[in-house]
């Protein structure tokens, strides 16, 4: 039950979200399936399934492997392509008032720029750059793994982007603070983190990797302490909003990120376990604020008292 006396609204780069809970990209599709379980207007926003310039079939199965306190995924960005998203999926999402974030992934800077130019002219609320993708022109090293890579893609996309620009940071970097600062200096309006952590699982009986792609991205509760630490570190060095994610399953998990400095949170893997997870997290944040006599969510954002 929503407590009307508590203000949960947050502002991220000029976009006002009714509450700080956003469905994370890749875990919520385009909202259709989850609309059978929840009212999409009860969550702050939806970061849609990662889009590429053209339709993509994704990686060879198996694509998902369950691990202790998490999952490994190697879906490979299966998606209908940016133009089919606009034509076939966006009209459904526009029935709702929840904010729409288009998550985009490219193999070259030019692909990122082309998608940004297309999306900048349609009715969405923000663009999220997935910089964990391999740059085929640079030996397939991920854009987000280096200061130079993230600066290049962010600067170029910024030239075409008419929407608030969120850069999604990979944890697979030597120093995430340097990466975050480079994205901010290059024109990011906000940062989201963390993306999945590279991992591997092996079927010891077949003596083969479980995933068809051999390796995949680890998500779920197992990564939460790492994610909270990285959000805390980044929030203390940048001057733009931070959106935290990584293993959030309930309201108390989300509050950890908010105290660490996140202005909003994204809920991902939990959606696979519990289709009402996003709404449950909203209600859990409200319950925490009520129990601790807070009137609005801003009273806890960045209020961690360190030793």
Question: Dihedral of CA 124/146/304/218: which sign?
Answer: positive
Tokens coding 78: 């299966």
* Pick from 23, 71, 35: nearest CA to 278: 23
Distance CA 278, CA 24 (A): 10
Distance CA 91, CA 87 (A): 7
Residues linked to residue 56 through DSSP beta bridges, in sequence order: 79
Within its chain, how far is the Cα of 17 from the centroid?
15
278 belongs to the catalytic site: no
CB atoms within 10 A of CB 250: 18
Exactly one of 113, 133, 161, 278 is catalytic; which is it? 133
Distance CA 212, CA 43 (A): 34
Residues linked to residue 267 through DSSP beta bridges, in sequence order: 23
Distance CA 75, CA 218 (A): 12
Distance CA 222, CA 120 (A): 36
Tokens coding 65: 């492997």
Paired sense of beta strands 21-23 and 45-47, if any: parallel
Enclosing H/E stretch for 192: strand 190-193
Paired sense of beta strands 190-193 and 165-168, if any: parallel
| Residues labelled catalytic | 133
């Amino acid at each position: 039950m929503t407590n009307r006396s508590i203000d949960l609204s947050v502002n991220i780069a000029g976009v006002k979200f009714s509450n700080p809970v956003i469905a994370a990209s890749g875990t919520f599709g385009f909202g259709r399936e989850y609309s059978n379980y929840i009212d999409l207007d009860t969550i702050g926003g939806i970061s849609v399934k990662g889009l590429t310039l053209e339709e993509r079939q994704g990686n060879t199965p198996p694509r998902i492997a369950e691990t202790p306190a998490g999952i490994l995924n190697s879906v490979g960005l299966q998606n209908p392509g940016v133009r089919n998203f606009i034509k076939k999926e966006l009209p459904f999402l526009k029935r709702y008032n929840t904010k729409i974030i288009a998550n985009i992934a490219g193999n070259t800077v030019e692909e990122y720029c082309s998608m940004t130019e297309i999306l900048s002219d349609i009715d969405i609320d923000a663009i999220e750059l997935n910089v964990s993708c391999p740059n085929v022109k640079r030996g397939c090293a991920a854009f987000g793994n280096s200061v130079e890579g993230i600066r290049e893609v962010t600067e170029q996309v910024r030239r075409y982007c008419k929407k608030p620009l969120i850069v999604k940071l990979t944890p697979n970097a030597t120093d995430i603070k340097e990466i975050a600062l480079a994205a901010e200096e290059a024109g990011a309006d906000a940062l989201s983190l963390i993306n999945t952590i590279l991992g591997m699982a092996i079927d010891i009986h077949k003596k083969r990797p479980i995933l068809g792609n051999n390796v995949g991205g680890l998500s779920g509760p197992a990564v939460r302490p790492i994610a909270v630490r990285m959000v805390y570190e980044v929030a203390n060095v940048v001057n733009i909003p931070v959106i935290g994610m990584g293993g959030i399953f309930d309201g108390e998990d989300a509050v950890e990120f908010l105290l660490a400095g996140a202005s909003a949170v994204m809920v991902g893997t939990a959606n696979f376990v519990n289709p009402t997870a996003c709404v449950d997290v909203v209600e859990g944040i409200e319950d925490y604020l009520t129990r601790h006599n807070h009137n609005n969510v801003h009273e806890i954002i960045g209020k961690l008292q360190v030793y």
